Amino acid sequence: MTDDSQAPLILITGGSRGIGAATARLAAAQGYDVAITYVSDESAALAVVADVEAAGRRALAVRADSADPGQIDGLFAAIDREFGRIDVLVNNAGVLAQQSRLEDLSFDRMQRIFAVNAIGPILFAQHAIRRMSHRYGGRGGSVINVSSASARLGSPNEYVDYAASKGALETFTTGFAREVAAEGIRVNCVRPGHIYTDMHASGGEPGRVDRVKESIPMKRGGQPDEVARAILWLAGAEASFITGTFLDVTGGK
């Protein structure tokens, strides 16, 4: 990197908290300029921006709902204006609803969860292809989809719809990776396990990780920065011959 204009840009959806925020801060430390999306907590997003800028990198936070194609279009227009490039996309934004058995799930809840967790990453990927692919004159790039161990485990009695949406994201990862592998784009997936983030409060049990940690072979929950390191490893040159791969960050579960 010779100057700021040559710094690679990483876009992290849902970058204002948890794994997304940890990834943004670590990416800045590794020399990336950083763009993040957020939906509601502007102050948290601006705190991430301040940390990225304190690390000497450029930053952009845009309010964009992953379920809204128009807002996604606006986000990429802003990235084109501000940076003129995108090198890494991290599809991290996700939503979770109250713990519930399957028969009590509402249709609106299912629609929202699939719109954000499964369809949203596909919409972001479409934009990434048009800017990264050699077919469009791009430099190539890397996409990391953030799934969940629930895609393997199913989350019975808690979040079957969330788990199913992450299963859809994983199947998408496989197809997308194979479709663009010859065009300079690598596509991989990280599966976090039980990580200490605010997301568990959305499910109605803020202390969930502590409740289940004894079932984890390593006997502890994970930290957001432990997932961030896995994401950024897959994003970078050390993973140059890796695509269509799933990396569990689960403490062995």
CATH number, domain at 10?
Answer: 3.40.50.720
**pLDDT confidence of residue 6:** 85
Least-confidence region, from 11-20, 88-97, 122-131, 200-209: 200-209
Round to whole Å and give the CA distance between 202 and 39: 14
Give the pLDDT confidence score for residue 3 in this predicted structure.
Answer: 46
Determine how many CB atoms are found less than 10 A away from the CB of residue 192.
26
User: Does a structural domain hold residue 147?
Assistant: yes
pLDDT average, residue stretch 11-40? 97
Q: Which residue has the higher pLDDT, 198 or 237?
A: 237
For residue 97, is it within any domain?
yes
Domain of 244 in residue numbering reads as 4-248
Domain tally for the chain? 1
Q: Which one of 32, 159, 162, 196 is the catalytic residue? A: 162
So what's the pLDDT on residue 199?
77
Amino acid, res. 20: G
* Region 85-98 average pLDDT: 96
Query: So what's the pLDDT on residue 5?
Result: 58
Q: What is the pLDDT of residues 143-157, one digit of tens each?
A: 999 999 999 999 999
Q: How far is CA 245 from CA 98, 100, 141, in A?
A: 30, 31, 15
Confidence (pLDDT) at 2 = 36
In a domain, 74, yes or no: yes
Residue 39 lies in a domain: yes
Is residue 86 within 8 Å of 131, Cβ to Cβ?
yes
| 37 within domain boundaries | yes
Decide if 79 contacts 11 (C-beta within 8 A). yes
136 in catalytic set: no
pLDDT tens column, 94-151: 999 999 999 999 999 999 999 999 999 999 999 999 999 999 999 999 999 999 999 9
Residue 253, domain member (yes or no): no
Whether 69 maps to a domain, the answer reads yes
Dihedral angle, C-alpha 161, 167, 170, 175, nearest 10 °: -110
In a domain, 76, yes or no: yes
* Share of residues in the chain with pLDDT > 70 (%): 98
pLDDT > 90: what percent of the chain?
A: 92
Q: Is the pLDDT of residue 21 over 80?
A: yes
Average pLDDT of the chain, as a whole number: 95
Instruction: Give the pLDDT score at 249.
Output: 97
